Amino acid sequence: MAERILIVDDDRRLAEMLVEYLGARGLPAVAQHDAASGRKALRREAFDAVVLDVMLPDADGFEVCRTLRAESDVPILMLTARGDPADRIVGLEIGADDYLPKPFDPRELLARLRAILRRRASGQARSPVLRFGSLEIDPDARAVRVSGEPRNLTGYQFDLLLALARSAGRAVSREALMERVRGDSLEAFDRSIDVHISRIRAVIEDDPGHPRRILTLRGVGYLFARVQDAEVER
């Protein structure tokens, strides 16, 4: 069954163009033009991803994203016409899986959606739970626990953490990490990965300002430590 996309954007012309464009390329899409209609659509039907505009007539798109993330792990791709880098950071920190400024090439939106959907599909493979001290990463359940307590990450952040954990003890460049997670090198020079890593640290590190799990190697990338908990190292 083809994946279905929900588009929530008050620009009717753009939304309908995306419905036609995505549908012609094997991704059936439905458009809604305000937050209330988008929420109703999500309650009525199951969607595999949401394309969400930041500026909606009846609600702030960031708040809509925050609410959706609290209720569901559906992947969210946010759109904005404001062009402020701070918007991108805020969107990623509150749970968006990806972010695309307007105007954009529909081909790029399609590539990003396909990458999101590939990441979701890859989580279905059977894999053992990865354990690093008190940290547990369950690829099948797409769950993260620290000392047995669940921790929340977006789908993209979970995939980043899983990719790092599977390379524990080895340095991984930003470009290689993004290629592993996205399945392509669409954003080889996009520093948004640092925002995601910062968010992951806030969720899994005891002291995010002095990380023990995900280490930054200046000029190289990141390293996921094999030994992480202080009680293990003593």
- What's the pLDDT score for residue 191? 62
Mean pLDDT in residue range 208-232: 85
- What's the pLDDT score for residue 189? 42
Q: Is the pLDDT of residue 82 over 70?
A: no
Look-up of token digits 């390293």 = 223
Mean pLDDT in residue range 144-159: 87
Between 56 and 122, the more confident residue is 56
Ordered strands of the 171-172 beta sheet: 171-172, 221-224, 214-217
Lowest mean pLDDT among 159-163, 189-193, 197-201, 229-233: 229-233
Tens of pLDDT, residues 116-135? 888 777 655 446 789 998 99
Q: Is the pLDDT of residue 110 over 80?
A: yes
What is the amino acid identity at position 99? Y
Report in angstroms the alpha-carbon separations of 184 from 3, 117, 177.
20, 13, 10
Report in angstroms the alpha-carbon separations of 120 from 27, 109, 114, 148.
15, 17, 10, 24
- What's the pLDDT score for residue 146? 92
pLDDT band at 230 (very low <50, low <70, confident <90, very high): low
- What's the pLDDT score for residue 125? 44
Between 72 and 22, the more confident residue is 22
- What's the pLDDT score for residue 5? 96
Mean pLDDT in residue range 168-193: 71
Overall fold of domain 5-122: Rossmann fold (3.40.50)
Domain boundaries, the chain: 5-122, 130-233
Q: Are strands 49-53 and 5-8 parallel, antiparallel or unpaired?
A: parallel
Nearest to 75 by CA among 118, 127, 39: 118
CATH architecture under which domain 130-233 falls = Orthogonal Bundle (1.10)
SS3 content of the chain, % helix, strand, coil (to 5): 40, 20, 40
pLDDT band at 234 (very low <50, low <70, confident <90, very high): very low
Q: Is the pLDDT of residue 177 over 80?
A: yes
- What's the pLDDT score for residue 229? 64
- What's the pLDDT score for residue 76? 92
Tens of pLDDT, residues 5-17? 999 999 999 999 9
Cis peptide before 103 (omega within 30 of 0): yes
